[in-house]
Amino acid sequence: MTDQHDSLPKMSAADAEVLDHLANEGFDASKLADLDGEQLARGEAASNLLSLLEAYPTEVPSDEEQQTLVDATMARIRRAEDNRRDRMKMDNHPVMLGRGLRFRIAEALALAAVLAMATATIWSFGTMAGERSLSIRTRQNLGEIHAGLSAFQGSTGTMPVQDVSTPVGNLLQNGSAKTLDIESVADGTFCETKYLRNPRRPGIGGNGFSFAVFSAGDARHISHADVILVGDRNPALAGMLAGKSYGEAMADSVWNLRLVNRPSVLFSDGSCRDLESHDHAGDGIWQVDRSNTAPTAAPIEIFLAH
Looking at the structure, tell me whether residues 41 and 177 fall in a common domain: no
pLDDT (tens digit per residue) in 167-179: 999 998 766 799 9
State how far the Cα of 304 lies from the Cα of 6, in Å rounded to an integer: 90
pLDDT (tens digit per residue) in 80-90: 887 777 776 65
**177 part of a folded domain:** yes
Three-class SS state of 225: coil
User: Is 60 exceeded by the pLDDT of residue 227?
Assistant: yes
Q: How many structural domains are present in the chain?
A: 2
pLDDT band at 24 (very low <50, low <70, confident <90, very high): confident
Going by C-beta distance under 8 Å and a sequence separation of 6 or more, which residues neighbour residue 111?
103
Q: Which of the pair, 295 or 173, is modelled with greater confidence?
A: 173
**255 part of a folded domain:** yes
Domain hosting residue 18, numbered range:
12-54
**33 part of a folded domain:** yes
Q: What pLDDT score was predicted for residue 281?
A: 82
pLDDT band at 126 (very low <50, low <70, confident <90, very high): very low
Looking at the structure, tell me whether residues 300 and 158 fall in a common domain: yes
Q: What pLDDT score was predicted for residue 93?
A: 52
**265 part of a folded domain:** yes
Looking at the structure, tell me whether residues 158 and 249 fall in a common domain: yes
Three-class SS state of 98: helix
Looking at the structure, tell me whether residues 35 and 179 fall in a common domain: no
Q: What pLDDT score was predicted for residue 8?
A: 52
User: Is 50 exceeded by the pLDDT of residue 125?
Assistant: no
pLDDT (tens digit per residue) in 31-42: 676 777 787 777
H or E element in which residue 141 lies: helix 105-156
Looking at the structure, tell me whether residues 186 and 299 fall in a common domain: yes
Q: What is the mean pLDDT of residues 58-68?
A: 73
Looking at the structure, tell me whether residues 45 and 146 fall in a common domain: no
CA-based nearest residue to 168, from 64, 27, 304, 22: 304
Looking at the structure, tell me whether residues 270 and 172 fall in a common domain: yes
Average pLDDT, the chain: 78
The model's pTM is 0.58
Looking at the structure, tell me whether residues 266 and 157 fall in a common domain: yes
- Are 243 and 221 in contact by the 8 Å Cβ rule? The answer is no
**39 part of a folded domain:** yes
Q: What is the mean pLDDT of residues 94-109?
A: 56
- Angstrom CA distances, 59 to 55, 56, 62, 65, 94, stand at 12, 9, 9, 11, 51
Three-class SS state of 260: coil
Q: What is the mean pLDDT of residues 153-175?
A: 89
Looking at the structure, tell me whether residues 141 and 290 fall in a common domain: yes
Q: Which of the pair, 22 or 239, is modelled with greater confidence?
A: 239
% of the chain exceeding 70 in pLDDT:
74
Strands (E), the chain: 94-96, 102-104, 161-163, 178-180, 209-214, 228-232, 264-267, 272-274, 279-280, 283-284, 304-305
Looking at the structure, tell me whether residues 156 and 35 fall in a common domain: no
**1 part of a folded domain:** no
**72 part of a folded domain:** no
pLDDT band at 265 (very low <50, low <70, confident <90, very high): very high
Looking at the structure, tell me whether residues 177 and 42 fall in a common domain: no
**41 part of a folded domain:** yes
pLDDT band at 106 (very low <50, low <70, confident <90, very high): low
Q: Which of the pair, 193 or 64, is modelled with greater confidence?
A: 193
Looking at the structure, tell me whether residues 262 and 166 fall in a common domain: yes
Q: What pLDDT score was predicted for residue 123?
A: 45
Q: What pLDDT score was predicted for residue 72?
A: 77
